[in-house]
A = this chain, B = another copy of it.
Amino acid sequence: MNILIFGIGALGTVYACFLKKKGHRVIGLSKKPVQEAVRENGVQVTGIWGEHHAVLDEVVTGVDKISDAKLDLVIVTVKSYDTEKAAAEIAGILSTDTYVVLAQNGYGNFEAAAKHIPENRLILGRVIFGAETIGLGMSKVTVIADDVIFGSPKNLIDHCKVEQFVAVCNEAGIPTRFSKQVMKYVWGKIIYNSALNSLGAILEVNYGKLAEVEHSRKLMESVIGEIFTVLKRIGQEMLWPNSEAYIKDFYEKLVPPTAMHHPSMLQDIQRGKRTEIDALNGAVVEMGKKYGVSTPVNDIIVSLVKAKEKMSLLRK
């Protein structure tokens, strides 16, 4: 297959490396410093899935630089606030056989991409293994909580077509499965991240510590409760019947395997980068405003993360 990995960050590096090793033609797209490093040294993956290295067929800084842009699959791994820009670029090289997988964090990626790419070409991915950047084009896989889920949010793509891409990923060594209810899985992850990633970034602790202390537990439960109320209001079904059921799973099943995980938003803040807060608690607050649901805890968390973001930039 001809595959473009749009964004060679922590996640894109893993996809590029594993798909290339399986023999596909893999093109990487990234900003200048990463592009140069990956062109020179290839991509490298370490961590729980072993040591891997691959040299990509091409590494470019824009889709117009691709020598032969007849693509079967584009996997988008840019930050959520860059999704729309990436989608606009991809739209320019979309052939009748190209499908696009959105493998990012947070709410709004599908909606942003659909402004430029037909919905019957967009596959939404729920990625729930953890990868950290340890260098340019170098990633460490730290944890896997469940398979990646691929699906068409409104089931506008033939099931067999999606299964084809699911098989490609599985064969390459990235556990993946199809679901007709991908949006439910994506929301599950948004809730998980809105509770742990944001509060962990504010308090500068790992996920386990947040679940250990009474006052941070109370705050996380409020975050989760508010999101369930918003989702109920908009009619979005969930994998859990109510927030109590989610909270039980959260402490018993979701947090323990990721207890040592450090919040990616804290890493973003410490590096003076923008966080994905707008696609997490921020998206919940916006939905709450639109549908008349009060979300004070998520609102204050957004303000605190944004204040930290800004203060970190002022220090630079």
Contacts and interface: CB of A to CB of B under 8 A. Distances in A.
A215 B296 contact: no
B297 A215 contact: no
Contacts of A297: 296, 300
Nearest to A296: B296
A202 B311 CA distance: 13
A314 B215 contact: no
**Looking at chain A's contact residues, is the secondary structure mostly helix, strand, loop, or mixed?**
helix
Interface string A282-316: 00000000000000110010011011101100100
Interface in A84-139: none
* Interface-central residue, A202, A213, A218, by most chain B CB under 10 Å: A213
Contact of A308 (B203, B218, B300, B314): B203
Nearest to A212: B314
Interface residues of A, number: 23
A209 interface: yes
B300 A216 contact: no
A303 B202 contact: no
A314 B202 contact: no
A216 B208 CA distance: 27
Given A296-B300, A297-B300, A300-B297, A310 B215 contact: yes
Contacts of A300: 219, 222, 296-297, 300
A283 B143 CA distance: 42
Contacts of A169: none
A205 interface: yes
A216 B307 contact: yes
Given A296-B296, A296-B300, A300-B296, A310 B202 contact: no
A216 B202 CA distance: 13
A214 interface: yes
A131 B310 CA distance: 29
Nearest to A305: B215
Given A203-B307, A216-B311, A218-B303, 7 more contacts: A205-B311, A209-B314, A212-B314, A219-B300, A219-B304, A222-B300, A296-B300
23 contacts: A202-B202, A202-B304, A203-B304, A203-B307, A205-B311, A209-B311, A209-B314, A212-B314, A213-B310, A213-B314, A214-B307, A214-B310, A215-B306, A215-B307, A215-B310, A218-B303, A219-B300, A219-B303, A219-B304, A219-B307, A296-B296, A296-B300, A304-B304
